[in-house]
Structure 1
């Protein structure tokens, strides 16, 4: 399921709205009790996620790759990360992550992801697709009609999250949520994108493509938790190359998707950083870890602009 690897990791690890799921997967489910995973290693055994910075004479911008959902007990806040955040004036994330913004994101996801009246998700499927889909939902303990009101992209994202929920991954343990809580009222907030922009990437995809991605998600549902556990382990070790190998595998098999989900956004963010260097101050920029790993990463894009990036941790 190599193609599924890319679809899932780009969608879930690469988008800050990954926690906005249908009502059937409520906060009670998403805040379930943790389970034992390889990611819950003692702090003394963790090297720490990678941290970079871009700086000129009066501006410093820290670049930190995030994981949006994590099990409880994962220790990733190192002294270097804490110091970088504490010295910053602004916390910049993909989209605004304050509680009120998160509520609006969830509302908007549900609105845009809802099919027209009289159309159901299963009515768009072939008999084979429907059979596989209903079997996958049954394995997750969900009724066959759970996502009938929703578009395929919404079901795809949610079915990518639910196996993690069952393994104890929690949205309230995600890196942005922790950073937001730690920053509290001490830092200003800014965002690289809007929730509308992120959702449009999925919502604008042709229905046939959406159904294809949903079928891939269904076929690979059992691979999700082991894959993400491996990804978190690489992230905790600060192994950007290992993380890139897991997250960005076989991107050439879906070049148009890679451009939309990763490369175009990386270029946009590099431009944002270049322009922000003209304003004095210190910025802590936290984005999906896949954007800071591998070829055509944000760092690569900055290098093409003649901007040096140094690794802090």
Structure 2
């Protein structure tokens, strides 16, 4: 489920990487010495007086990818407003929200509730990112899964500082563009916090089983994103969600429907908007584009 989280929750990567213990696990990989061309997919929805660009992101990236150019930069420059999944709170506020949503002091020790043989593996994995058992056993399963998916990525050189959200936000602020958001950080964390206990445990179990493949999975995801191949990206995502319909509904399908509603309503207001959301929302079954079709709206792919 790693790919699903990283493509579909802007708050999750940033919250996990903001955790003090996780941030100290290892030095980040050195910056890339060369720049590699990347051409992620871009769509546009428009009527007579409103244009909305849809851009899929990967929330954490290595340095050295030249994605903010060509048609993506042209669309951004032409826009009056940037709309992201969320507007990031500062580090202290993020950590406060992590404690509020991700810890449950009253629950039974998490390591004792996992399927046989996984409890010790869980505690070892948490110790590996600098989190002691006393804290790890208080984490809710969804939050533990998030930390174990994202925290090790800094060691591989992936960081939200290099992600499109950070780059686009800085560019929008420099150009004095209006900044908006589709959701709040509390909403995004609340979606996973609302998962059933069974789904949360399955979520954590799959994360533990996938940890050794983190680099290969992340690299494959970024390659598909960089080459502008939403079909391959959608297959990667759908394969991960096959056994988790509850997670698929809460994290992807329902939110995609909400965002399609937002786009339909936003078309009533003249202007040009650049919307950047996790690439998983713009790929596969139930994507934002499919949801827009229910509103008789067409998201046209921009070739470049």
TM-score strictly above 0.5: yes
Structure-1 residue corresponding to 2:247: 257
Cα distance in 2 for partners of 1:220, 1:232 equals: 17
Cα distance in 2 for partners of 1:173, 1:108 equals: 23
CA contact (8 A) 1:31 1:172 kept: no
Structure-1 residue corresponding to 2:15: 20
Q: Return closer, same or farther for 1:130/1:66 CA change in 2, 3 Å cut-off.
A: same
CA contact (8 A) 2:40 2:56 kept: yes
CA contact (8 A) 2:126 2:136 kept: no
CA contact (8 A) 1:85 1:284 kept: yes
Q: Return closer, same or farther for 1:281/1:155 CA change in 2, 3 Å cut-off.
A: same
Are positions 1:76 and 2:67 aligned together?
yes
CA contact (8 A) 2:79 2:273 kept: yes
Secondary structure of the 2:20 match is coil
Are positions 1:205 and 2:174 aligned together?
no
1:252, distance to aligned residue in structure 2 (A): 3.7
Cα distance in 2 for partners of 1:140, 1:219 equals: 16
Cα distance in 1 for partners of 2:103, 2:252 equals: 25
Cα distance in 2 for partners of 1:65, 1:119 equals: 39
Secondary structure of the 1:231 match is helix
Structure-1 residue corresponding to 2:299: 309
Unmatched segments (≥5 aa) in structure 1 = 1-6
Q: Return closer, same or farther for 1:285/1:8 CA change in 2, 3 Å cut-off.
A: same
Are positions 1:278 and 2:278 aligned together?
no
Unmatched segments (≥5 aa) in structure 2 = none
1:200, distance to aligned residue in structure 2 (A): 1.3
Are positions 1:104 and 2:93 aligned together?
yes
Cα distance in 2 for partners of 1:278, 1:30 equals: 48
Structure-1 residue corresponding to 2:29: 33
Cα distance in 1 for partners of 2:125, 2:132 equals: 10
Secondary structure of the 2:297 match is coil
Structure-2 residue corresponding to 1:226: 216
Cα distance in 2 for partners of 1:51, 1:41 equals: 24
TM-score by length of 2: 0.89
Cα distance in 1 for partners of 2:107, 2:257 equals: 40
Cα distance in 2 for partners of 1:30, 1:201 equals: 30
Cα distance in 2 for partners of 1:49, 1:151 equals: 34
CA contact (8 A) 1:41 1:75 kept: no
CA contact (8 A) 2:195 2:246 kept: no
CA contact (8 A) 1:34 1:167 kept: no
Secondary structure of the 2:275 match is strand
Structure-2 residue corresponding to 1:157: 146
1:139, distance to aligned residue in structure 2 (A): 5.3
TM-score by length of 1: 0.87
CA RMSD, 1 decimal: 2.3
The farther-off stretch of 201-210 and 221-230 is 201-210
Secondary structure of the 1:189 match is strand
Are positions 1:183 and 2:179 aligned together?
no
